Every structure is written in C-alpha cells, then in structure tokens.
Amino acid sequence: MGLMTITSPHAHGPRKTANLMRVVVIATLPGLFALTWFFGWGNLINVIWCSTVALLAESAILLIRKRPVSFYLGDYSALVTGVLLGLALPPLAPWWVSVVAVGFAIIVAKHLYGGMGYNPFNPAMVGFALVLISFPVAMTTSWAAPTHLLDNPMSFLDTLSTIFGFSTQSIDAFTMATPLDVYKHEISHSVAEDVVKNPVFGQFIAHGWEWVNIAFLAGGLFLMKKGVFTWHTPISMLFALALMSLIFGWDADQTTPPLLHLFAGATMLGAFFIATDPVTSAVSPQGKLIYGAGIGILTYVIRTYGSYPDAIAFSVLLMNFAAPLIDVYTQPRTYGYAKAKRGTKEAE
C-alpha cells in the first residue's frame, strides 16, 4: 500500500510553547530599547535581573516538585514572566522588590497552582500587584526621570549600584512622578493648559512614554501578524479604554485626556503582552472581546477613581477572575448542533 491519504489539518511547523515564548521575548525588544533610551539603564538591568531570578526560582521549584528542570525551563515561560516584570517595574526599583515580585509570581502564582497552563492568574501581574501593595514607597518613588531632562543622567554603573543598594546617594534627583500620576494630582487644582507645562509631558503626549508605548504597539502588531494571538483582546481593550475616556474624560480640565490614557503608563504593554496571555484569558473570539473590554473599562475606572495612578495589573487580575465565567457564556456553537450551549442551558 504505497498510497497514504493525509487528512486535514495540513499544519506544518509545530507551534511549540518555546517558539511562541521566544517570539514574545523578541517582540518586547523595541519597547525595552525605547525605555532604555528615554529612562536610562534601569529597565535593562531590571529585565536581566528579573529573568535571572525567574529562571533560578523556576529551577528551584521544579526540583522541589520533582519535575524535569531542563524540559520546563526550555519552554521559556519563566523567562517571559521575568522579562515582563522587568519591563513593568519602576526602572530604579531596589533589587529586593524585583526578587519578591518574581519569586511570588513563579512560586506562588504559577507553581502552587499547578505550573505552566494551570495558573488562573497572570503570574507576572500577581507579582506586580503584590509589590505594588506591599512596598508603596519603593514602587512610587523609583520611576526614573527622562534622561533628556537631566543635566547629568545616571551612568550604567550608577544605576546598577542604586538598584543593588551600594550607592548611598539619594535617588530623588533622578526620579520623577509618572505622567499619569502628575496629571491626576495636578488637574484637581489647575487647568489642562498649565498642567501640561510640566516637563514630564514633553512636546507630544508624555515625554518618552509615547515612544515607549508606540514601541510596544509595534511589537504587539508584529506578534499579531505572527499569529501569536488574535486581534480581539488588545483591540477590544484599547477601544474600551478610549471610549470610556472619550465619554467620561472628554474635558481635559477635569480628568486625564484619552491620548494620555492610551500612550502613557503601561497601556500598550498591558494590551499586547499581558492581557493576551493564552492561559489566563478567555478562549473564544467573543469571549476575548468581552475580556478585553472588561480590562479596558476597569483600567479607566481604577485610574480615574482609584488611588493608584496606573491600573493594568489590577484590571488584568480582576478579569482573570472573570475569564472562566465568560468562557461558560460564550462557548461557540458545536458543529451539528442548532444552538450553542450557553451557561447552564442544554444544547439543542
């Protein structure tokens, strides 16, 4: 019998986890470059430090769980968690903040729930939210000022010794509140025209941050083109955030304007690299639309009415909670059935 019929799907090029994760890491590089260009060496050091800690923590917990270490390290998922945390944490965050965030992300949020593919919450965001709640001082005063605004920007070695606590000099001269933070606090007793004179807003939207966000947007579009994720989650999230800020924040003299919402803070990083995590998001296209829109709406609500300037981590975690329920109600119609099985209803 020399004839062999191969049925569909005629897929080729196995989509292994490792390949996907590697592409994700590569796609963060433009954003990392922009962060380093505008805010100094802090994020680059953080990314390297967080990745190292992530790989060590993953190896340790795999050994304790008696799982094959090299196999699971080879899927790069721990590396992605480390890189995302390195990008999200403030550039001058002390080394122990990163260690606590990464350690909690890998050990508690990922492995105590069963490891890769079983975690209900995005590990990187669990780690981020933990340190955000636990170390409010370190997490709000460690944002580096744009290097172009400083007379003597920190050198690589200065940054390194600041992060690892060898430097005795105060970092106050090198840090600045983030644009979202400044706008939120200034606008309550001022008008938009005066607020944007603050150098942190630069010439366009927010000094440096707009390029960082554009870089992450570019990386995200590259991932979308590669088919790593579909357009539903990020576009729905950005659309919901923009719509919310257009409806409720159209008056720039009252609240943060839409462009600042979209291009300052962690918006693009969150939309394309964090919300799209396949393990913790909703599954069906319709579900992803709801999931993404939920993150966008929550981000606007927490940024505007909450006490934290940025809200990506909290919104993503809250929608992680909701994802299983969304899945139950957005299950697509199974072929051969007249109607989809939604919720607890039986399919007909």
Partner 1 sequence: MATSSYRDITLNGLWKNNPALVQLLGLCPLLAVTGTTVNAMGLGLATTLVLLGSNVSVSLIRNFVPDTVRLPAFVMIIASLVTCAELLMQAYTYELYEILGIFIPLIVTNCAILGRADAFASKNSILPSALDGFMMGLGFTIVLIILGTLRELIGQGVLFSGMDLLFGESAKSWQINVFSDYPDFLFAILPPGAFVGMGLLIALKNIIDDKLKAREEKNSAEVVTGSKRVRTTGTIA
Binding segment (CB under 8 A) for partner 1, from list 126-134, 204-212, 264-272, 294-302: 126-134
Q: Residue 137 interacts with partner 1 (CB under 8 A)?
A: yes
Which window, 25-33, 134-142, 178-186, 228-236, contacts partner 1 (CB under 8 A)?
A: 134-142
Q: Is 322 among the residues that bind partner 1 (CB under 8 A)?
A: no
- Mask 70-99, x = binds partner 1 (CB under 8 A)? --------------------------x---
* DSSP label at residue 111: I
Tokens of 177: 């509140």
Q: Which two tokens stand for residue 144?
A: 């580096």
Tokens 């590569």 sit on residue? 26
Q: How far apart are the first and last CA of the chain?
A: 43
* Residue choice 64, 133, 173, 347 for contact with partner 1 (CB under 8 A): 133
Residue 100 found at the interface with partner 1 (CB under 8 A): yes
Closest residue by Cα to residue 78 from 51, 114, 112: 51
Does 135 interact with partner 1 (rule: CB under 8 A)? yes
Least distance from partner 1 to the Cβ atom of residue 133, Å? 6
Q: What is the rounded distance in angstroms from the CA atom of residue 335 to the CA atom of residue 62?
A: 40
Q: Residue 130 or residue 212: which is nearer to partner 1 going by CB?
A: 130
Tokens of 265: 């803070």
Residue closer to partner 1 by CB (options 88, 293) is 88
Q: Does residue number 134 form part of the binding site for partner 1 (CB under 8 A)?
A: yes
Smallest gap from Cβ 228 to partner 1, in A, equals: 32
The pattern of x and - marking residues 220 through 259 that bind partner 1 according to CB under 8 A reads ----------------------------------------
Amino acid in position 48: I
Which distant-in-sequence residues (6+ apart) come within 8 Å of 110 by Cβ? 78, 81, 116, 119, 123
C-alpha distance from residue 174 to each of 33, 141, 150 (Å): 19, 10, 7
Q: How many residues bind partner 1 (CB under 8 A)?
A: 10
Write down the least CB distance from residue 130 to partner 1, Å.
Answer: 6
Enter the tokens of residue 267. Answer: 């918006």
CA of residue 175 relative to chain centroid, distance:
22
Helix (H) or strand (E) holding 242: helix 232-248
Which residues on neighbouring strands pair with residue 175, listed in sequence order?
Answer: 144
Contact in structure between 101 and 79 (CB atoms under 8 Å): no
Min dist. Cβ of residue 136 to partner 1 (A): 7
Residues 150-209 that bind partner 1 (CB under 8 A): none
**Which residues make up the interface to partner 1 (CB under 8 A)?**
96, 100, 108, 130, 133-138
